[in-house]
Chain A
């Protein structure tokens, strides 16, 4: 069974704090993704990574950065949290081969920025 875990289920932070969200997958997937889910907007891609040390901007990267030092781990960083970053954050992973595009998601981290 594919397992994607996220470091926290719920997080409350103050405006201006630096926030780290961590994601770990155990299926040796090359691709990893960070999304945020907001009502009426679906899942929007923040950043993704095809390989260790590699990162690509998604559709809404502003205010975020990422780190992938090891294949199994992909971290999302909010450099200075703001209230509009209150959201559900979802990590996902998948194989790189183009025919296998199913993504496996973690349980999500619900972040509240006060």
Chain B
């Protein structure tokens, strides 16, 4: 039972354009959402997060949008750069029993120069 789903295994975008990575969740108890970025041979690093009391959070080129009614969040990267090429994991946590964090399967982003 996948509580956090990233349905696109990969995404290819031209440098300078917008990258949109999507994530869906099923558990309405989730109240905090995070995006992590992972380069090959490295551990994931925290990128941006959003609390369920907000619908948008922005940090430089990265913006996360949350649509609670649709149980959907998205990460926008504008403008995309070749260095953004990595695997992006969506994650969710909440009072589901210990505040564990549940991760999606990841989306591999390719930004072409």
Residues of A within 8 A of B (CB): 4, 9, 35, 40-45, 48, 50, 56, 58, 90, 92, 98, 101-108
Contact = CB atoms under 8 A, between A and B. Distances in A.
B41 A45 contact: no
Given A40-B9, A41-B105, A42-B106, A101 B41 contact: no
Contacts of A43: 44, 89, 103
A10 B18 CA distance: 36
A103 B38 CA distance: 13
Interface of B: 4, 6, 9, 32, 34, 36, 41-46, 49, 89, 93, 98-101, 103-106
B89 A105 contact: no
A39 B14 CA distance: 25
B104 A90 contact: no
Nearest to B6: A42
A104 B46 contact: yes
A4 B46 CA distance: 13
Contact of B41 (A48, A56, A92, A107): A107
Contact of A90 (B43, B93, B100, B106): B43
B54 to A, nearest CB: 14
Given A40-B105, A56-B98, A58-B100, A102 B34 contact: yes
Nearest to B2: A42
Contacts of B34: 101-102
Contacts of B6: 42
B30 to A, nearest CB: 11
30 contacts: A4-B43, A9-B41, A35-B103, A41-B105, A42-B103, A42-B104, A42-B105, A42-B106, A43-B103, A45-B101, A48-B98, A48-B100, A56-B98, A92-B43, A98-B99, A101-B34, A101-B49, A101-B99, A101-B101, A102-B34, A102-B49, A103-B46, A103-B101, A104-B46, A105-B36, A105-B44, A106-B43, A107-B41, A107-B42, A108-B43
